[in-house]
Structure 1
Amino acid sequence: MKRILPIIIILLLLTPSFIFTVDERQQAIITELGEFKRAILEPGLHFKKPFVEKITRFEKRMLSTDAPPGQYLTLDKKRLVVDFLARWRIKDPLIFFKSVRNMFAANTRIEDIVYSELREELATHNINEVIAENRELIMDKVKEGSSAKLKEYGIELIDVRIKRADLPTEVQQSVFERMIAERQRISKRYRSEGEEESAKIRARTNKEKDIIIATSYAKSEKIKGEGDKIATQIYSDSYSKDPDFYEFWRKLEAYEKIIDENSVIFLPIDSYLFNLLKKQY
């Protein structure tokens, strides 16, 4: 037992030198004295020659490269500050290891290639197309051109998107001032058109009001005339039937209008009202 224990301890110490694991997030290559031997693409437990073979692990998951902002010139000679985001993965670990070897070099190579493709593509479009109209189509073309070049480095480019497209800082203020002036000009035009339309509406309304008032007045005068005519006819008919009664009734109406409870009147003794009151009392 004492002889077996040291052997077990030695085996345990040597195990990492010839047994290793690759999880589902990784892929690896085995090199012997710097020379490629094989690629490990499947997760699990694997073996290698102790002390001679070396394992180099790479990410199997999707990776991203967030490029710093760069200046580009558009077709209409406008400068844009653009920063892009590239999504990619290591497709062939051997080619990746031989060409770029590590993540820093891979990110640098991706930035250079995508920057070049993006510069060439933006030079064929106006600024408004880049900002609003054809951005997705532009980036699809950039992805297509960059993917072909990155295959040489064992990299699969999944997607490229513009994070931000803006004007250079030194020209932003002048552009903003032009935009403000343009908006003010448009707002003045709208206000002028609105005031003109308002004046037309008020004039049309006033005209319609005057027409309505004049028409109503004419109708009212016509109705009054017809009413006066009818009243006159009634009075005439009543008078012709009994002139004495009609005269008496008209006088009573007149007296009712001019005399109330507090009235003090002086009447000559030959007046009709005096004689009427005299008969009453």
Structure 2
Amino acid sequence: MKKNLLTIVVSALLAAIFVLILFVFQVRQSEVAVVTRFGRPVRTQSEPGAFFRLPPGIESVYKLDQRIQSLEDPFTETLTADNNNLLTTVYVGWRISDAAAFFPKFKGGSVIDAERNLKEVVTQAKAAVVGKHPLSDFVNANPKDLKFDAIENEIKAILQEKIAANNSGIRIEYLGIKKIGLPESVTQAVFDRMTADRKKLADKLESEGLAEAQKIRSSADREAAQKISVAEGEARRIKGEGDAVAASYLPVFEQNPDLARVLLESEALETTLKERSILIFDSRTSPFNLLTGSFTNKLSK
């Protein structure tokens, strides 16, 4: 009896499992499910959990990964606006935004087919944008003249427009230029132009430096000339005052020439003997004759 009961329980469990497999499907957090009935999509399920379905043969469930997918287009050669060949490759991050549109567009919701189609569209959009820009927007001695951000945004805008027109159920999350290269035929020409640009920049900086140095030199010369002029004016003023004082004493000296001579010789003697010195001189020579007393005796007479 117990053996029969165990058999019945096991059989019931197996039947329940079989029913669940036939009539229930599970969706994970990172998935979106497309349910088809007789091969035609009837609904999508993007919320995680377990859901009812009709048995196989009537309904089928296709699960698609709705996480971001990454791809790169081939490293291809494109002509720029100034007729230079440029090698570029672009990376793209994309995801399934509308499973109902994506599934019939790419047979069975094939991600491989979607990426193959997307690569073609990316290459076309890239060629269209690169053809609008000169080589200097990609390769330049001055980093400020590079326009990678603008170019990437232009490629992304064209790509999104084409995808929306095709109604493929794809959304572009990010896009960027991964690598650029130059064919050997244009490499030397680019290097020569970069060298010329650097030389032009160096010449400009040198010219600005020389102009600034000349400006500083002229300012210094002007200031020095102004100070010299002020000093010369002050010297003339002092000389004029001295001449005026000397002129005031001139009438007195004209009345008594001997007194004037004594005063001048005394001043010369004072100047000579300011420092401690040993002098050898002729006492008859002026102004040293003042030290002998002969001259003062002569004045007293």
TM range (shorter): 0.7 to 0.9
What's the secondary structure of 2:83's corresponding residue? coil
Q: Aligned pair 1:147/2:163, yes or no?
A: yes
Aligned to 1:9: 13
CA 1:208–1:8 in 2, change beyond 3 Å: closer, same or farther? same
Which one of the candidate residues 89, 103, 120 is aligned to 1:97? 103
* 1:82 aligned partner: 88
Question: Are 2:25 and 1:20 aligned?
Answer: yes
- Structure 1, unaligned stretches of length 5 or more? none
TM-superposition CA deviations, 1:3-32 (whole Å, max 9, x none): 432223313542334322113432112346
Q: CA shift at 1:146, angstroms?
A: 1.8
Contact 2:97 2:171 in 1 (8 A): no
Q: Secondary structure at the match of 2:163?
A: helix
Between the aligned partners of 2:85 and 2:94, the Cα distance in structure 1 is 28
- Give the TM-score of the pair, scaled to structure 2: 0.68
Q: 1:232: Cα distance to partner?
A: 1.4
C-alpha displacement of 1:103: 1.4
In the alignment, the residues of structure 2 paired with residue 17 and residue 165 of structure 1 have an alpha-carbon distance, to the nearest angstrom, of 50
Letter in 1 for 2:250: S
Provide the aligned C-alpha RMSD in A: 4.0
Structure 1 partner of 2:141 = none
Counterpart CA distance in 1 for 2:239 and 2:78 is 88
2:35 counterpart (5, 30, 34):
30
Counterpart residue number, 1:71? 77
Q: CA deviation at 1:261?
A: 7.4
* Aligned mate of 2:53, from 41, 48, 55: 48
Amino acid at match of 1:253: E
State the distance in 1 between where 2:41 and 2:261 align: 143
Determine the C-alpha separation between the residues in 2 that align with 1:190 and 1:35.
72
**Structure 2: runs of 5 or more not aligned:** 139-145
Gap change, CA 1:42 and 1:255, over 3 Å in 2: closer
How far apart in 2 are the matches of 1:240 and 1:159? 111
Which segment drifts farther, 190-199 or 45-54?
A: 190-199
**CA 1:277–1:202 in 2, change beyond 3 Å: closer, same or farther?**
closer
CA deviations over 1:126-183 (Å, ceiling 9, x no partner): 44567528526632541344223541xx323335633246342423343123211232
Matching residue of 2:180 = 166
Cα separation, 2, equivalents of 1:122 and 1:254 = 95
The separation in 1 between residues aligned to 2:118 and 2:126, in whole angstroms, is 12
Structure 1 position 230 matched with structure 2 position 244:
yes
Deviation at 1:57, TM superposition (A): 0.2
Give me the whole-angstrom Cα distance separating, in 2, the residues matched to 1:114 and 1:196. 51
Give the partner amino acid of 2:170.
E
- Residue number among 271, 274, 278 corresponding to 2:292 in the alignment: 274
With the length of structure 1 as denominator, give the TM-score of the two structures. 0.72
The change in CA–CA distance for 1:70 and 1:150 in structure 2 (over 3 A counts) is farther
Identity %: 20
Q: CA deviation at 1:41?
A: 1.9
Alignment deviations for residues 90-117 of structure 1 (CA, whole Å, 9 cap, x no partner): 2443553344232122111111122223
Q: Secondary structure at the match of 1:113?
A: helix
Q: Is the 8 A contact 2:95 2:170 kept in 1?
A: yes
Question: Partners of 1:272 and 1:168 in 2: how far apart?
Answer: 102
Q: How many residue pairs are counted as aligned between the two chains?
A: 273
